[in-house]
Amino acid sequence: MTTNHKQAMRRRWVAAPSAVAVAAVLAACGSNGSTSSSGSDDGSAGSGAPAATSTVTVPASIKKAGQIRFCADLTSPPYDYYEGTKPAGSDVDLGNAIAAMMGVKANWVRTQWSSIIPSLLTGKCDAILAGMTNTPQRAKQVTFTNYINVGLGVLVKKGNSVGIKSVDDLAGKTVATQLGNYASTILKQQNKKLKAAGKKPIDIKTYPGDTDAAQALVAGDVDAFVEDIVICSYFNRQHSGQFQLAFNSQFAPLPEGIAVAPKNTAVQKAMNQAIEALYKNGTEQKILKKWEIPQVALPKYASSGAS
């Protein structure tokens, strides 16, 4: 991870942030609507599209446009976020690699998480690549190409004064997470179990983005932040001495996938071909290693390709 990257994250996260500071961060990331930025593998605009590879059948619409549009909320490091004004992260690297295989550019369409599936279904992008968990409910709306396998984690302030040592210890605690994400679904399911057991429910506080939800933990507004363990671990590394994982094991693991509109079979076929090829040639393993998350590789590819 670059020095500028770490410095940018430190500027984004301060021990006692003001509302103005938080607003400034969100403004730097763009509006809550959809905004676009094209990028090469470093998030910058390229001078021209690379040649397509024979391992991916490029959909006619994408080939004609010279770009593939990925919807992402760009608020969830290390998957997708802004480094300065450029999209960055493991999903951004993956999307740019897919675009290169197609011989086109990647166009990152910033989309608020709560409206990201409707944006795909109404044609604002070709696919969602944003650490989206492949849940049964979402699979009724979109078609997935799985690319990693991830569970949830619990982040607390250093010292864990709230005493959370397991999922059951979330009972009666105030917990932050992103609106409409997989974690919020699991927390609601946990509340049903707690109610049946006669225990206090989790007070679930939802926020537009992961950065907002984790910021609530920094500010002391909540007892814990629950999210994809990759995101929790990333925030923990970036802010050593401020946070800690309440417990090291992940829970409720599921695959995360690239989502495509059900009728868009050409894009779905291309995503399947691209992910298989990028695992087989070791590119995806290199991306995961770069972002310090090699453990989330799909089990069938975990021991293959580059290390």
The domains found in the chain, sorted by start residue, are: 3-149+255-301 (3.40.190.10), 151-252 (3.40.190.10)
CA distance 159 to 241: 9
208 neighbors 194 (Cβ within 8 angstroms): no
Q: Would you state the pLDDT for residue 305?
A: 45
72 neighbors 111 (Cβ within 8 angstroms): yes
Q: Is the pTM of this model over 0.95?
A: no
Q: Would you state the pLDDT for residue 248?
A: 86
| Averaged pLDDT score across all residues of the chain | 84
Region 78-91 average pLDDT:
96
pLDDT band at 21 (very low <50, low <70, confident <90, very high): very low
What is the percentage of the chain residues whose pLDDT exceeds 70? 81
pLDDT band at 134 (very low <50, low <70, confident <90, very high): very high
Q: What is the pLDDT of residues 42-52, one digit of tens each?
A: 333 333 455 66
Using alpha carbons only, give the angle 170, 229, 6 rounded to the nearest 5 degrees. Answer: 120
Among 24-28, 151-155, 156-160, 195-199, the minimum mean pLDDT is found in: 24-28
Region 36-59 average pLDDT:
59
Q: Would you state the pLDDT for residue 35?
A: 56
CA distances for 193 relative to 41, 147, 256, 290, 301, angstroms: 44, 31, 25, 38, 35
* Helical residues (DSSP H) of 13-68, grouped into ranges: 19-28, 60-65
Q: Would you state the pLDDT for residue 54?
A: 73
Region 150-163 average pLDDT:
96
Q: Would you state the pLDDT for residue 46?
A: 36
Q: What is the pLDDT of residues 235-252, one digit of tens each?
A: 898 887 899 999 988 899
Q: Would you state the pLDDT for residue 299?
A: 87
Q: Would you state the pLDDT for residue 300?
A: 86
pLDDT band at 2 (very low <50, low <70, confident <90, very high): very low
Q: Would you state the pLDDT for residue 9?
A: 33
Q: Would you state the pLDDT for residue 43?
A: 37
Q: Would you state the pLDDT for residue 172?
A: 98
Q: Which helix (H) or strand (E) holds 178?
A: strand 174-178
Q: Would you state the pLDDT for residue 122?
A: 97
pLDDT band at 24 (very low <50, low <70, confident <90, very high): very low
Q: Would you state the pLDDT for residue 36?
A: 63
DSSP strand pairing (224-228 vs 174-178): parallel
